[in-house]
Amino acid sequence: MRVVILISGRGSNMQAIVEAGIAGAEVVAVISNRPDAEGLAFARERGIETCVVDHTRFDGREAFDRALATHIDAFAPQLIVLAGFMRVLTDGFVAHYHGRMINVHPSLLPAFQGLHTHRRALEAGVRIHGATVHLVSPELDSGPILAQAAVPVLPGDDPASLAARVLAAEHRIYPQVVRWFAEGRIRTDSEGRVRVHGEAAAERALCVPGAIEA
């Protein structure tokens, strides 16, 4: 399975996926909308092809998305992975990659969609927070959920400490979902619902006790 990963910064989830060495999945390219994205150096050091599609050089989201899709399609991927890609995508772009583009969000969706999830979780007084991997849909952070990982909210947490704990959970479940795609375990049924088949089905909701010390 050919995988293209999109990043905007250091791409720590991209690094977790690459370092997982997933059988049957090859990261064929890492693409960024920012020329200074730190993750590009990591990819190059590992022999992965990189390219930059600088969004500031385009007149509007539609023009940028068309150029981005052209670069992605040149690598003929079966899966597109958003790993800290900080761009709102147009409906046409999402439709073009329907069923084969995934994202990770730092909350237990549908709670705390959008930005500033850790601050909002602390303000709400929740005791459990976490991360969600989902298929990308036109509605922001609303696509079918593929896997979730829960972490505790500890006394004395601030947004930074909670973010670090959640990020450790993301690094665990994101490579797992990519592995499920490579193994053919994620399928769509006759009613358009996404299902995880086989042993993976029992692992869709994961508690991450090791992240308590993170």
Of 71, 96, 98, 105, the active-site residue reads 105
d(CA 80, CA 181) in angstroms, rounded, equals 11
Strand extents, DSSP E, 58-154:
79-82, 101-105, 128-135, 145-152
DSSP code for 202: G
Taking a C-beta distance cutoff of 8 angstroms, is the pair 148, 207 a contact? no
Collapsed DSSP state (helix, strand, coil) of residue 77 = coil
Structure tokens at 23: 């059988």
Catalytic annotation present for 197:
no
Enzyme catalytic residues: 105
